[in-house]
Structure 1
Amino acid sequence: MSEIQNNTSSSRLQFFPVMMFAVIMGFSGITLAYKKASEVFLLPEIIYQILSYITACIAVIITFIYLLKLIKYPNEVRQEIKHPVRVNFFAAISISMLLISTVFHEYENIALPLFIFGAGMQTFFTFYTITYWLNKNIELAHSNPAWFIPVVGNLIVPIAGDGFADIYLLDFFFSLGIFFWIILTAILFNRIIFHGMLAQKFLPTLAIFIAPPSVGMLSYLKLQGAYDMFAVILFNVALTFGLILLALIKNFYKIKFFISWWAFTFPMAALTMAIITVYEKTSFEYLTFKLLGYVSLIMTSILILIVLIRTIIAVKNGEICVKE
């Protein structure tokens, strides 16, 4: 019996997906949203402090498990990074490090090493993925909003690197992220509109459209400070994508649970942070933004709780970490 259990555990480790790092992104996002809400809405700091430690524990566990997979099943990892769809999720590793660095930004001994390592890995995964796209005959059917992760993830670097890196270096990452956000938005809209809707498993990744303009605005404000016309455009685009996702909500009702459901979480948290930040930057004049901020924070919290519960149930039922 014990031998069977060991074989089952080994099998699950073998198929532990790199997509699991999206869980860290989701928890980091909601932690930062509550941190911002505590500053602007004066919510109790204990909420984000508890969430920060929960996020750190989840990050350690997921990273440890994936490192075990790398050691024990290097060929499986090699196949993942050469896969036309899964390759895009490897940047979730570096983004997770950058987000954890932001969560613990006031603790320089923790935040700075995470930023350096995360920014270095983000650079590697960015150029690895771009060269992968250029060298391979990628089919349009393989494209999905997860393509944003390896290149648009660069927009997080200026946020995490605030006070740690030279402004010109942070400008470079910001420019790279904005450039590829524009290009990939056009490509992915063409794919979705003219070449059929995404496979059911990847429908949740539609939420990723919200993340680039939301994070882009937050990143831009870190670099420039002023809530000018460019920041307004980025915010309004993010809000528009959020409303589009809301209009498509009926499409998500009957979707079977996949780990890709975590793709809903970080974009919603990023939009929440963007709304609260706009309320702050407009000198608290627009109560509509305050109401939107509260609503978005509550919705995102409920969303993460639902996805977490469904994930735990799926793990218990053996539906995660199985061969596709």
Structure 2
Amino acid sequence: MTLTDASETEPRLKHFPVPFFAVVMGLMGLTLALHAGAHVYPSLGTASTVAMWTGIAAFCVIAILYIAKAILYPQAVVHEWQHPVRLAFFPAVSISILLISTAMLSHFPDTARGLWMIGAALQGLLTVAVVSGWISHRAFEVGQLTPAWFIPAVGNVVVPVAGAQLGYVELSWLFFSTGMIFWVVLLTLVFNRLIFHNPIPGKLFPTLVILIAPPAVAFLAYVNLTGEIDPFARILLNIGYLFTILIAVQVPKLAKLPFALPWWALSFPIAAMTIASFLFARKTGSEAHVVIGTLLLVVLAGVMVKLVIRTVLAISRKEICVPE
């Protein structure tokens, strides 16, 4: 990646965006989806391991570049923090760490525990910071609200996915409760914005897919916390399917939009729904959910291939890391 000439006067590193961490979320989501699918198709285990190390490598590269940006251009980071849309992407950093921890849990439990502690602590800090930013004296306009604002809430319900397995049950319930209340509040606000105000700009329209993530991840967290599929778990799963269907209807519109980094928002929600379907199938023996999980995994694989190709092309054409 060339980071030296975003414009004639400014280095590309200065414009390296925090939404790049959504790439790691997508790769780790793919890792966990393949791992979930391996219970049905054992050959997917190797692919899951490859995806895990690819995601870890991507996180290291992106983290190093963003830290370099923070050191060399601290005002650029402050500008992103004050940006009404990019502010919500900062918890993508902690979510990435938590997903890496979850992926490593079965292979390297001690390392996974350490990463989970770091990710959970960072997620807690970022939740407080982001929500404080939302309710500060600065007024946000309705048009600045997008489904990307769900990312902090999603991060909180990611914590229990591995946290419950590591034995941090009460702490996991705290994060789960926090994520659920913010999901309900933001869902109301986002639908108000979608129904009664101007459409989401084309560049940010792919973030609509994030609507799928909160109920899907909440289902995974809840089942890990309770160990069973009860009526509330079924409600969460089926809300996820509802949003998946609603987003599927928007595919023709999505297909016409030019590529931008927010397109990576497509990946993790589809992965979360895939994992949830396979988990439900494993817990209940539902063959129908095996089929649903398989179809979603195929869609996810296709989306990931497309995203990687489009991202590489965008980087080669110097369309990323440029001034807005």
Q: TM-score range by the shorter chain?
A: over 0.9
Contact 1:19 1:89 in 2 (8 A): yes
What code does the residue aligned with 1:112 have?
A: R
What's the CA shift for 1:290? 1.3
Give yes or no for the alignment of 1:91 onto 2:118.
no
The one-character-per-residue Cα deviations of 1:182-231 (angstroms, maximum 9, x if unpaired) are 11111100001100210111100000000000000000011001100000
What's the CA shift for 1:63? 0.8
**Counterparts of 1:249 and 1:6, CA distance in 2:** 31
Hey, what does 2:71 align to over in structure 1? 71
Hey, what does 1:199 align to over in structure 2? 201
**Counterparts of 1:7 and 1:150, CA distance in 2:** 32
What code does the residue aligned with 2:307 have?
A: V
Q: Which runs of 4+ in 1 moved over 2 A?
A: 4-10, 39-44, 162-166
Further displaced range: 68-77 or 13-22? 68-77
Hey, what does 1:256 align to over in structure 2? 258
Percent same amino acid among aligned pairs? 37
Contact 2:6 2:323 in 1 (8 A): no
Do the aligned partners of residues 175 and 277 (structure 1) sit closer, same or farther apart at CA in structure 2, a change above 3 Å counting? same
Hey, what does 1:188 align to over in structure 2? 190
What code does the residue aligned with 1:186 have?
A: T
Contact 2:105 2:112 in 1 (8 A): yes
Hey, what does 1:156 align to over in structure 2? 158
Give yes or no for the alignment of 1:294 onto 2:294.
yes
What code does the residue aligned with 2:288 have?
A: T
What's the CA shift for 1:44? 3.7
Give yes or no for the alignment of 1:278 onto 2:280.
yes
What code does the residue aligned with 1:193 have?
A: I
- Aligned-partner SS, 1:138: coil
The CA RMSD over aligned residues, in Å, is: 1.6
What's the CA shift for 1:6? 11
What are the equivalent positions in structure 2 for 1:209-228 lying under 5 Å apart? 209-228=211-230
What are the equivalent positions in structure 2 for 1:131-142 lying under 5 Å apart? 131-135=132-136, 136-142=138-144
What code does the residue aligned with 2:144 have?
A: H
Do the aligned partners of residues 195 and 162 (structure 1) sit closer, same or farther apart at CA in structure 2, a change above 3 Å counting? same
Hey, what does 2:319 align to over in structure 1? 319
Contact 1:152 1:176 in 2 (8 A): no
**Counterparts of 1:164 and 1:9, CA distance in 2:** 49
**Counterparts of 2:153 and 2:8, CA distance in 1:** 36
Could you state the TM-score of these two structures normalised by the residue count of structure 1?
A: 0.95
Contact 1:152 1:180 in 2 (8 A): no
Hey, what does 2:36 align to over in structure 1? 36
What's the CA shift for 1:5? 6.3
Contact 1:37 1:43 in 2 (8 A): no
Contact 2:6 2:322 in 1 (8 A): no
Could you state the TM-score of these two structures normalised by the residue count of structure 2?
A: 0.95
The one-character-per-residue Cα deviations of 1:230-271 (angstroms, maximum 9, x if unpaired) are 000000000010011111111112101100000000000000
What's the CA shift for 1:8? 7.1
Hey, what does 1:59 align to over in structure 2? 59
